[in-house]
Amino acid sequence: MTNEILLEMKNISKSFPGVKALDNVSLKVRRGSVHALMGENGAGKSTLMKCLFGIYSKDTGKILLDGKEVSFKNPKEALESGVAMVHQELNQALKRNVMDNIWLGRYPRSFGFVTSEKRMYKDTKKIFDELDIKVDPRTLMSKMSVADRQMVEIAKAVSYHSKIIVLDEPTSSLTEQEVEHLFSIINMLRDRGCGIIYISHKMEEILRISDDITVMRDGAHIVTEPAKNFTMDRIIKLMVGRELGARFPENDAKIGEVVLEVRGLSSRHNAVDDVSFKVRRGEIVGLAGLAGAGRTEVIENIFGISERKAGKIFLHGREVKNRNAREAIKNGFALLTEERRSTGIFGILDLRENTTVSSLRKYRGLLGLISEGKRRKDTSWAMETMRVKAPSQRTKIRALSGGNQQKVILGRWLLTEPEVLMLDEPTRGIDVGAKFEIYKLIVELAKKGKAVIMVSGELPELLGVCNRICVMSGGRLVGEVDAKNTSQEEIMRLAAENA
């Protein structure tokens, strides 16, 4: 690490109609350093990066790369000048293989027009060996895990001889081992003199990997200091601009009789294998495990959206079939899915449609026509209960932040009056302040007597919110621990030992 400045963004401002997204923000990234960029959703991190890549045009300000002023018109120009970005949502051609993706738009050619597969393979292999990535360059992207696909994206950045690499939430879907591998690659790139801009919500990681930390809030630059000057609490305080109390709300819900019992659940097309457990009234049960352990698959199977091979589900001792989502909802089940954007929200529809879609039946009146008045009332009740911040019920849901979208979907499920609430990664991609809100809402629901199952890859969150945690591995239940008397280490051991 040197003190030489590799990238400097000076007094960048950017306005959208009605909002000042960036207000005079400056950022300096040193050669051979990892620079963490932190802030809540909407703080302006992405906007700043988009200005760097020419996806947005900045209103004012200057960008200096290696001391020379640059102004990229599009990401391609940025990439060719050595500025690369690995997006959180990977944009890859899934039907093509690894090397096609890496050399997309600049295939090596022989005779001027024939793409040379051989050279592509050789060059890709070389980069993979350097980075210790064990993937065959001819594998189809769609056949690979998210972690591997992310590595490919990093390799692509390296293949452009990038000086600046931006990583946006790179670890949000990685397991612990995969995170270690990613960090070793980051360290390697740092030693080569790259400047890494690292965007993440995970404090532990940031404090471990970064050299400098910049905190942004509400479109403004708050502070830049060496990472060793920070503690987790200080970062959070700077990010939210106020003192944040406990990270988790107190869970004092009364636990009652068994509501849900699952016996010997096995799925036909994925990993779930002979899973049995019970959930009581007012209880929050966590499902932990490494990626691919079958957590999501279990609750999807209970909800009836994946095919069951064997097993029985009992609600209050009475068997329910849940052959599809409709039946499950009728029986009093609700499922908040993992991928909010692809299976949760109806982006172009407004909040009222999004909130009432699962309970339209309730609003049928004369001739089966839907009563708008009742729908408006229920929507405003749900928005109030879930503390959704939005201009109106007619706002399109895609205009809201991730946290607010999640609250709308929770509200949707409240309107179906479920007894069993299944939550899959309820706080993924949601900022610190909003996370606490979501936890509080979950605990409140438990207090109202719902049986809650929560799947999460973030162990601290499971430990903080759940009563009991079931650990999964390879589609089987391999252990069960009391959330009050366990530790991350114990759960990790259970999850890994049986893998």
Partner 1 sequence: MTAIRKYREMSRTQRKEWMRELIINNSLYVFLIAAVVVIQFISPNFLSGPSIVNIISLSAANLPIALGIAGAIILTGTDLSAGRIVGLVACVSASLLQASGYPAKMFPNLPTMNFLLVFLIALAIGGIIGLINGFCTAKFNLHPFIVTLSTQLIVYGGLLMYLNIGNNNGQSISGLDPSYTSFITGSFISLGSTPIPNYVWYSLVITAIMWFVWNKTTFGKNMFAVGSNQEAANVSGVNVKRVIVLVFGLAGIMYGITGFIEAARIGSNSAATGLNYELDAIAAAVIGGVSFVGGIGKIRGVILGVVLLRLIFVGLTFLSIDANMQYIIKGLIILVACAIDMRKYLVRK
Q: Which residues bind to partner 1, rule: CB under 8 A?
A: 16-17, 55-56, 303, 305, 325-326, 328-330, 335, 337, 342-349, 353, 356-358, 360-361, 364, 368-370, 412, 416
Which of 432, 444, 439, 435 is closest to 454 using CA atoms?
439
Q: Longest C-alpha distance within the chain, in Å?
A: 75
55 or 135: whose CB is closer to partner 1?
55
Question: What is the SS3 assignment for 407?
Answer: helix
Length of the chain equals 499
Minimum CB separation of residue 357 from partner 1 in Å reads 5
Of 307, 222, 220, 314, which is closest to residue 272 (Cα–Cα)?
307
Min dist. Cβ of residue 145 to partner 1 (A): 21
Q: Judged by CB, which is closer to partner 1: 138, or 326?
A: 326
Minimum CB–partner distance for residue 106 and partner 1 (Å): 25
Least distance (Å) between residue 104 CB and partner 1: 23
CB nearer to partner 1: give 50 or 281. Answer: 50
3-class secondary-structure state, position 281: coil
E strands in 116-257 = 164-168, 195-199, 212-217, 220-226
Q: Which residues of 402-416 are buried (b: 16+ CB within 10 A; e: fewer)?
A: bbbbbbbbbbbbbbb
Residue 377 C-beta: closest distance to partner 1, Å: 17
| Of residues 240, 242, 306, the one with CA closest to residue 275 | 306
Identify which of residues 301 and 473 has a Cβ nearer to partner 1 in the complex: 301
Task: Take residue 205 and report the two structure tokens written for it.
Answer: 């990681």
Closest separation between CB of residue 63 and partner 1, Å? 18
Distance of closest approach, residue 329 Cβ to partner 1, in angstroms: 4
How far is the C-alpha of 47 from the C-alpha of 67, rounded, in Å?
22
Q: Which is nearer to partner 1, 282 or 344 (CB)?
A: 344
In the numeric block, which tokens belong to residue 369?
Answer: 């026509």
Which helix (H) or strand (E) covers residue 420, if one does?
strand 420-424
- Cβ neighbors of 404 (< 8 A, separation 6 or more) are 388, 389, 390, 434
Shorter beta-carbon distance to partner 1: residue 24 or 416: 416
Smallest distance, partner 1 to C-beta of residue 84, A:
21
Smallest gap from residue 260 Cβ to partner 1 (A): 18
Q: Give the CA angle between residues 359, 363, 365 to the nearest 5°.
A: 150
**In the β-sheet with 220-226, what is the strand arrangement from edge to edge?**
83-86, 164-168, 195-199, 33-38, 212-217, 220-226
